[in-house]
């Protein structure tokens, strides 16, 4: 009985953000849609490589799908701070449905050409450049209890990676048996789930937002100044940009490893992507089980190291089993890093600048990626895929070292925010209880002094 009660409590804690109705709807619809998204990603990569046999063109397609982010996301961030994010998401999801349907039509008709895939990838990139920062900012509105925010972010990342386990595996089977077109059809249908979920939400009436009097460029400038001058935000965004440029493009080269190095087929590619997804899922489940945001700065460093070691091992491997294990480690590191950065940012942001800073987050993580994809594809043609990934892993390790050097400054800037929110106070009291040492009697300065002396432990 006691074990069952403990297990039930653990599960409730792991899923605590689901007590918010709107977030439950979002998770249900998004879960279905994300499976379709991963199916399309795998099918498109395999289709391009099957048609061309070119690692460079794989990079070009990745570049086209991501380059709009770096130019459009800042505008999307301003819109997210001005207009109803709920309505904006209904528009972006509907446009993504139309893109998937168009891709399905040209593939099933047998008239598909690489330039069409590049064009449709560019269109989807424009849609995602608006969708992602708006969706990131919308999480706060769906979660009724602010203390559930970090859990909601981790659960959303878990959902992405749960779909990453299922989608590539299904895509690998379908591509090998009936071709790529059916994957695009199913993705188009899957968007209906999230559209219905968004339409079913009951959101509280938001206070009227004053019509912005300043030009959009002034608001962008304010957001950039806030992000750049605040060391924790600046350090996180720069680390993400480096990882996105040098490490994340490994996924562009996975079809090359699957076919040319491991001598496999679409099934092999699907299993490799699923392995990365399984590691990423474990990482986000670990984050979802955490009780506090404290300690995430150290976790960001460790996750970066895990990611670098994973892709380096994958680069050197010619064994299928070892390659699966290496990608699982890389996936664990990558998603733990991204979700931890997201959680810290969402916790410390000023509300009136949330949309703009999350657009910079999108730029750093996704907007820089097309340059990495294009560079990885080009370098793979010259240096080979193995050396390309090894160079990327070295760059990630350098980023981890630089971030570690700035940790004292990051902690100093975050500390007042955590104190104001009661995060440090709560943990310090918990430590006193756990060690059976109550706070020192007398004035309040006793406990404050303990916080100062344990500074490194509470971050």
Question: 152, 22 in Cβ contact below 8 A?
Answer: no
The pLDDT of residue 451 is: 36
For the chain of 459 residues, list the mean pLDDT of each consecutive stretch of 10: 57 74 89 92 89 83 83 80 83 95 93 91 91 83 74 78 80 88 95 93 65 67 86 93 91 87 84 86 81 84 96 94 95 91 85 81 82 84 91 95 93 86 57 38 38 39
**Structure-block tokens of residue 335:** 């998603």
Question: 94, 195 in Cβ contact below 8 A?
Answer: yes
Which secondary-structure segment (H or E) carries 216? helix 216-229
**For the chain, domain boundaries:** 14-199+216-417, 422-453
Instruction: Decide: residue 377, CB within 10 A, 0-12 exposed, 13-18 middle, 19+ buried.
Output: buried
Distance (Å, whole) CA 435 – CA 452: 18
Which residues make Cβ contacts (< 8 Å) with residue 253, sequence separation at least 6? 55, 58, 376, 377, 380, 385, 388, 389
Question: 244, 368 in Cβ contact below 8 A?
Answer: yes
The pLDDT of residue 329 is: 96
The pLDDT of residue 430 is: 39
Digit-coded pLDDT (tens) for 155-201: 887 787 778 778 888 888 898 888 899 999 999 999 999 999 999 98
CA distances from 371 to 76, 216, 368 (A): 21, 26, 6
Q: Give, in degrees to the nearest 5, the angle at Cα 371 between 369 and 375.
A: 115
Question: What letter does residue 146 receive in the DSSP assignment?
Answer: G
The pLDDT of residue 205 is: 64
Instruction: Decide: residue 76, CB within 10 A, 0-12 exposed, 13-18 middle, 19+ buried.
Output: buried
Sign of CA dihedral 400, 137, 142, 369: negative
Q: What are phi and psi of 48, to 5 degrees?
A: -65, -45
The pLDDT of residue 152 is: 81
Q: What are phi and psi of 438, to 5 degrees?
A: -65, 160
pTM: 0.72
What is the CATH code of the structural domain delimited by 14-199+216-417? 1.20.1250.20
CA dihedral of residues 255, 256, 260, 262 (deg, nearest 10)? -60
Q: Could you give the percent of the chain with pLDDT greater than 70?
A: 86
The pLDDT of residue 5 is: 54
Report, in this order, helix, strand and coil percent for the chain, each rounded to 5.
85, 0, 15
Q: Which of 135, 115, 133, 111 is nearest to 123 (CA)?
A: 115
- Start-to-end CA distance of the chain, whole Å, equals 36
Question: CB count, 10 Å around CB of 429?
Answer: 15
The pLDDT of residue 124 is: 93
């Amino acid at each position: 009985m006691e074990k069952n009660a403990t297990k039930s409590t653990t599960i409730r804690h792991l899923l605590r953000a689901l007590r918010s109705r709107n977030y439950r709807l979002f998770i249900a619809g998004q879960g279905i849609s994300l499976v379709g998204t991963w199916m399309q990603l795998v099918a498109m990569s395999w289709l391009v490589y099957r048609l061309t046999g070119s690692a460079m063109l794989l990079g070009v397609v990745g570049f086209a799908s991501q380059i709009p982010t770096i130019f459009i996301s800042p505008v999307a961030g301003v819109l997210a701070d001005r207009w109803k994010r709920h309505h904006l998401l209904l528009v972006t999801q509907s446009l993504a449905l139309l893109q998937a349907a168009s891709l399905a039509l040209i593939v099933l008709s047998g008239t598909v050409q690489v330039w069409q895939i590049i064009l449709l990838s560019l269109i989807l990139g424009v849609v995602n450049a608006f969708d992602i920062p708006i969706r990131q900012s919308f999480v706060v509105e769906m979660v009724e209890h602010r203390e559930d925010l970090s859990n909601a972010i981790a659960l959303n990342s878990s959902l992405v990676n749960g779909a990453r386990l299922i989608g590539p595996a299904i895509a690998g089977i379908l591509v090998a048996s009936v071709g790529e077109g059916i994957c695009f059809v199913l993705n188009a249908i899957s968007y209906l789930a999230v559209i219905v979920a968004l339409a079913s939400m009951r959101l509280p009436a938001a206070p009227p937002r004053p019509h912005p009097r300043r030009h959009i460029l002034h608001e962008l400038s304010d957001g950039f100044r806030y992000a750049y001058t605040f060391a924790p935000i600046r350090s996180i965004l720069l680390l993400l940009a480096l990882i996105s440029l040098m490490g994340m493009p490994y996924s562009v080269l996975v079809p090359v490893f699957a076919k040319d190095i491991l001598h496999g087929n679409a099934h092999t590619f699907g299993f490799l992507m699923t392995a990365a997804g399984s590691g990423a899922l474990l990482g986000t489940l670990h984050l979802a089980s955490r009780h506090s945001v404290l300690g995430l700065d150290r976790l960001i460093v460790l996750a970066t190291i895990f990611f670098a070691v994973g892709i380096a091992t994958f680069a050197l491997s010619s064994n299928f089993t070892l390659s699966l294990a290496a990608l699982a480690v890389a996936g664990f590191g990558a998603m733990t890093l991204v979700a931890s950065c997201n959680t810290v940012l969402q916790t410390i942001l000023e509300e009136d600048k949330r949309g703009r800073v999350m657009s910079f987050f999108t730029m750093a993580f996704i907007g820089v990626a097309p340059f990495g994809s294009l560079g990885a594809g080009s370098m793979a043609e010259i240096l080979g895929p193995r050396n390309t990934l090894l160079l990327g892993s070295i760059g990630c390790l350098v980023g981890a070292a630089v971030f570690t050097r700035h940790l004292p400054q990051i902690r100093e800037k975050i500390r007042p925010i955590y104190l104001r929110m009661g995060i440090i106070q709560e943990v310090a009291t918990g430590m006193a209880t756990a060690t059976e040492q109550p706070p020192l009697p007398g004035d309040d300065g006793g406990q404050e002094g303990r916080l100062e002396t344990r500074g490194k432990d509470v971050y």
